[in-house]
Amino acid sequence: MTEPTPIVMIGAAGRMGRMILELAAADAKGFKIVGAVDRADHPMIGKPLSELVPGAPADVCLEAEGPAAVPAGAVAIHFSLPDALGAHLSWNVQAGCAAVIGTTGLGDEQKKMVEAAGARIPVLFTPNTSTGVSVLCWLASEATRLLGPGFDVEIIEMHHHNKQDAPSGTARRLAEVICEASGRDYDRDVIHGRVGQVGARTPREIGMHAVRGGDVVGDHTIVFAGAGERIELTHRASSRQTFAAGALRAAAWLSGRRPGFYSMNDALGLQPSCNK
């Protein structure tokens, strides 16, 4: 019988953290919650996790740091703020604990930090833990390759009005995938919105448009527009449970792996890897 995957939740008091913990607590055969971490000034620090998350164990408290020791095969799932990632990753490496990183809005230095951690521990980094988004990413790469340069590409993403980063990590990754498949350069060829007399659209540019409003969980559409025809690939998330379930699926896959830098595509067996 397979032992449950030990889970440490980083960003446990956030919406995604609580959702992941609820699903993990409801699946005792699949997962065991062994740690929960959030910011030091959170009012629930030091209190039993069961007071924050229904069904969570009462013998695990919300803490400001990861546990000093973790069981073999433990995986930390990160959904915290980007500024906190460095400290949490340092704990990950010291504890020898694998990491699924779903935190978005990372800068170049933070991304390098994530990749460097993969030399010491198993790290799976993805801007979106949804299984459907991973498939969308793969489809975007294939569509770009098959359609060729005769199709203009635009990306539209929409999220709730509280989202702080733009474009979303998923939209950025979709653009990166398309750039990789077509020989484009993200910094040179991705255009973030348009205003004024910008002139005719150039063949290489990828339009990126971020829309914010209401309680939209996450919508992403890629438009491939050619002469006389248009293809649109769309993923719409109606519940955060989609991302929570995907994060746990990734954690179960990552548990016990060799040190390295992995993606959701690795976890799902999709090639080429899209969520670097």
First to last CA, the chain: 32
DSSP 2: P
Pairing of strands 206-212, 152-159: parallel
Would you call 276 a catalytic residue per the annotation?
Answer: no
Q: Which two tokens stand for residue 166?
A: 């733009």
Quote the distance between the C-alpha of residue 3 and its chain's center: 26
Across the beta sheet with 31-37, the strand order is 62-63, 31-37, 5-10, 75-78, 98-101, 122-125, 260-262
- Catalytic residue among 32, 159, 209, 235, which? 159
How far apart CA 173 and CA 274 sit, in angstroms, is: 8
Q: Are 154 and 223 in contact (CB under 8 A)?
A: yes
How far apart CA 255 and CA 14 sit, in angstroms, is: 23
Query: Given phi > 0 = left and psi -120 to 50 = alpha, else beta, which region is 11?
Result: left
Closest CA to 44 of 65, 72, 63: 63
**DSSP H or E stretch at residue 23:** helix 15-26
Q: Are 68 and 92 in contact (CB under 8 A)?
A: no
Would you call 159 a catalytic residue per the annotation?
Answer: yes
Dihedral, CA of residue 109, residue 114, residue 119 and residue 125, to nearest 10: -140
> Which positions are annotated as active-site residues?
159, 163
